[in-house]
């Protein structure tokens, strides 16, 4: 992840996220814990500026309540529809606004 202007924190977030397999999701909190951070919001801010998408799959990060959460700094609209479409292409489904299959949580 060599790119000018990235912080060490952003690099850690992107490296950890790159390990989430296709068809699986993680939460902002789980991703934060994986890198030794106590702030899921900080992880969300790093993902908002992800210069490596879709290779670093920020669409695979969902909210703690297992809803889709946000995408590209938005909580709805076209951005969220893109996130849900990418997840659906990988077999990840949501039912009544929540992750339909808990086993997909990584």
Residues carrying an active site annotation: 58
72: left (phi over 0), alpha (psi -120 to 50) or beta: left
- Token output for 97: 């606004």
Residue 61 CA to its chain's centroid (Å)? 2
* Rounded CA separation 105/5 (Å): 31
């Amino acid at each position: 992840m060599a790119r000018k202007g990235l912080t060490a924190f952003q690099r850690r977030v992107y490296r950890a996220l790159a390990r989430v397999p296709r068809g699986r999701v993680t939460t902002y909190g789980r991703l934060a814990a994986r890198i030794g951070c106590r702030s899921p919001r900080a992880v969300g801010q790093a993902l908002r500026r992800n210069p490596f998408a879709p290779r670093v799959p920020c669409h695979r990060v969902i909210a703690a309540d297992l809803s889709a959460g946000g995408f590209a700094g938005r909580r709805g609209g076209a951005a969220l529809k893109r996130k849900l479409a990418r997840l659906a292409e990988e077999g990840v489904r949501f039912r009544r606004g929540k992750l339909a299959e808990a086993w997909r949580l990584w």
